[in-house]
Amino acid sequence: MILNIMKLYDWKFWYRNRFSSYKKIWKITYSKKPSFYKKTFLPSEIEYCLKFKKPAEHFAGKFAINESIRKSINESISFLDIETFHNKSKLKIKLHKNWDTKYKVLGSISHENEYAIGMVISEKISVLQK
């Protein structure tokens, strides 16, 4: 299981006992730098996050999930090959470009104060499971 904790405005995450800081990222709003968001999130994810009063909280959660997936499968997958959405308030994750034939992924997002946390369990699909 991979665990990421994102600090919304200082953008900190934890991964296997590492603590890193990426300052000022969430202070850059979508309206100021849409190119950053378009490289990281799918149009449906951007639309979902922007409909909330505090979109940074939702962007941070989605980023935490994406980063958790990327680290859990340990292969070079693009952010744009990972789609997160909600169905009846449950997080759903869809992998694109044949990644869904290689991995099964389950995840959860939670928000607390200025933090968002993304947890992922990924399983490599063997040839026998296909």
Q: In what order do the strands lie in the sheet with 103-112?
A: 2-7, 115-124, 103-112
Q: How far apart are CA 130 and CA 121, in angstroms?
A: 19
Structure tokens at 121: 């369990």
pLDDT (average), residues 76-83: 94
Pick the CATH number of 2-129 from 3.40.50.2300, 3.40.50.970, 1.10.12.10, 3.90.470.20: 3.90.470.20
H-helix or E-strand spanning residue 64: helix 55-73
Structure tokens at 4: 């990421």
Residue 13 pairs with which residues in a beta bridge? Answer: 20
pLDDT on residue 130: 53
Higher pLDDT, 9 or 27: 27
Extents of the domains making up the chain: 2-129
Could you tell me how far CA 112 lies from the centroid of its own chain? 16
Q: How far apart are CA 109 and CA 88, in angstroms?
A: 14
Mind listing the pLDDT tens digit for each residue in 24-60?
A: 456 678 888 899 899 999 999 999 999 998 888 888 8
pLDDT (average), residues 89-104: 91
pLDDT band at 105 (very low <50, low <70, confident <90, very high): confident
